[in-house]
Amino acid sequence: MARRFRGESHHKVDNKGRVSIPASFRRVLEQGDPNHTEGLNPEMVIVYGDHRRTYLECYTVDAIDEVDAKIDALPRGSMERRMLQRLFHGQSFPTIVDETGRFVLPAKLRKKINIEGDAFFIAAGDTFQIWKTETYENVELAKAEAWLDELPEDFDPLSYLDATAGD
């Protein structure tokens, strides 16, 4: 199994849109890039999606290849395939991490999620997300807290994993 992204951190975005990727995330990007060799910079794909998406989803090459294979398995010409192609092929941005561990976040993507000087990175297993800090705290974190508040005090979220034991 491939290494997973883990953790969260805040990083400054400079005036040119350059931002550092957390060091531990870089190792996962390298491992998830089948063309990566020592001395080369890993590639990744940023999916920015439609108007409803308020964050950027960053995929390793292997992870986006898996998504692409699933899209390709859908019937050619089907609405589902066309929409997923638009969301994952058309509304995405391939990029390379430079030798200093940074990449350029284009102005279009910074504007889309309203990032100015600070970006919040959070791991999501085989992807990671980039958020405007305030949006994450006000929207996503609030959703998680509301979900947890509906559960009994002694509830163990790991119990959800028991349902996958037969998989």
Phi, psi of 145 (to 5 degrees): -65, -40
Question: What's this model's pTM, rounded to 2 decimal places?
Answer: 0.89
Residues of the chain predicted below pLDDT 70: 1, 164-167
| Measured distance CA(55)–CA(132) in Å, rounded | 7
**DSSP annotation string for 11-37:** EEB-TT-EEEPPHHHHHHHHHT-TT--
Mean pLDDT of the chain: 92
CATH homologous superfamily for 8-153?
Transcriptional regulator MraZ domain (3.40.1550.20)
Q: What percent of the chain has pLDDT over 70?
A: 96
Region of 61 on the Ramachandran plot (φ > 0 left; ψ -120 to 50 alpha; else beta): alpha
Residue for token pair 């883990």: 6
With H, G, I as helix, E, B as strand and everything else as coil, classify residue 10: strand
Give 65's contacts (C-beta < 8 A, 6+ positions apart): none
Residue 74's contacts (CB-CB under 8 Å, 6 or more residues apart) are 80, 81, 84
State pLDDT tens for residues 48-88: 988 889 999 999 999 999 999 999 999 999 999 999 999 99
Sequence ranges of the domains in the chain: 8-153
Residue pair 25/128 in contact by the 8 Å Cβ criterion: yes
Distance CA 59, CA 36 (A): 15
User: Could you tell me how many residues make up the chain?
Assistant: 167
